[in-house]
Amino acid sequence: MADSQTATVVPDFTAPMTGGQSFQLAGRPAKYTVLYFYPKDNTPGCTTESMAFRDHYQQFQQAGIDIYGISRDSLRSHEGFKAKLGLPFELIADSDEAVCLQFGVMKMKQMYGKTVRGVERSTFIIDAEGKLVKEWRGVKAATHVDEVLEFVARLK
């Protein structure tokens, strides 16, 4: 994806998500949509990040912002993760990596001394017209939601 300063229009996509629904980027009713990409359900960093978005969900809603988590996990895995954490937002299943590739979040990473291909923890804010407003890449799970909230506060 291009630099967020160029007001890039994000190509529309459709993907399955929890709750028996299908996510489509185009025509989202919210003023802004937050898409946060994370490596894997039920892992420590991803649990921390998802719980932080959960804990601040009302602040995002009051600002007219919808939140969606995305990983390569299956819908079944997502349903369990969502229920376990009590997430008030839906999770998008990208098992074929199409959305991850569209957003350029697949990277080679070091894990336990081995090089593996995986999702780089990243977040994107997209406005109602489908324009990329802000992106964060390679974020830290513990503090990232605070950064997103700071940015959101300036959107008003």
Write down the catalytic residue from 17, 25, 35, 46: 46
Q: Write out pLDDT tens, residues 134-145.
A: 999 999 998 999
Question: Of 108, 109, 114, 124, whose CA–CA distance to 13 is shortest?
Answer: 124
Domain span at residue 45?
4-15+29-155
Query: Is residue 3 pLDDT above 50, yes or no?
Result: no
Q: Write out pLDDT tens, residues 46-67.
A: 999 999 999 999 999 999 999 9
Is 24 part of any domain?
A: no
Supply the pTM of this predicted model.
0.92
How confident is the model at residue 156, as a pLDDT? 65
| pLDDT range class, residue 6, cuts 50, 70, 90 | low
Is 127 part of any domain?
A: yes
**CATH number, position 140:** 3.40.30.10
Q: Is 46 part of the annotated catalytic residue set?
A: yes
What is the number of other CB atoms lying within 10 angstroms of the CB of residue 98? 12
Average pLDDT over residues 15-35: 93
Is 60 part of any domain?
A: yes
Is 73 part of any domain?
A: yes
DSSP class of residue 3 equals -
Contacts of 136 (CB under 8 A, 6+ apart): 122, 123, 124, 144, 147, 148
| pLDDT range class, residue 4, cuts 50, 70, 90 | very low
Token pair in block for residue 82: 């969502």
Provide the 3-class DSSP secondary structure of residue 134.
strand
Question: Of 106, 132, 103, 134, whose CA–CA distance to 120 is shortest?
Answer: 106
Number of domains observed in the structure of the chain: 1
Q: Write out pLDDT tens, residues 88-122.
A: 999 999 999 999 999 999 998 887 788 888 999 99
Is 38 part of any domain?
A: yes
